Amino acid sequence: TRPHPGAQSATANLAMGPALAVIDRIRDAVRKPSEGKR
């Protein structure tokens, strides 16, 4: 996972963390198959 610049405070990061983690995993899952085709 990586910090998101949109969430400035630690509290906001903790509140949004789980939802953003799911989004990051979806993005990674979409990118990985396309990287293998290069």
Structure tokens at 15: 């509140």
Tokens 């969430």 correspond to 7
Q: Is the dihedral of CA 27, 28, 32, 33 positive or negative?
A: negative
* pLDDT of res. 10: 77
Task: Dump pLDDT digits (tens) for 1-38.
Answer: 566 565 567 777 778 888 888 999 999 999 877 666 65
Structure tokens at 38: 């290069």
* pLDDT of res. 13: 74
* pLDDT of res. 26: 93
Tokens 């998101």 correspond to 4
Element (H, E) at 20: helix 10-36
CB 9 within 8 A of CB 25: no
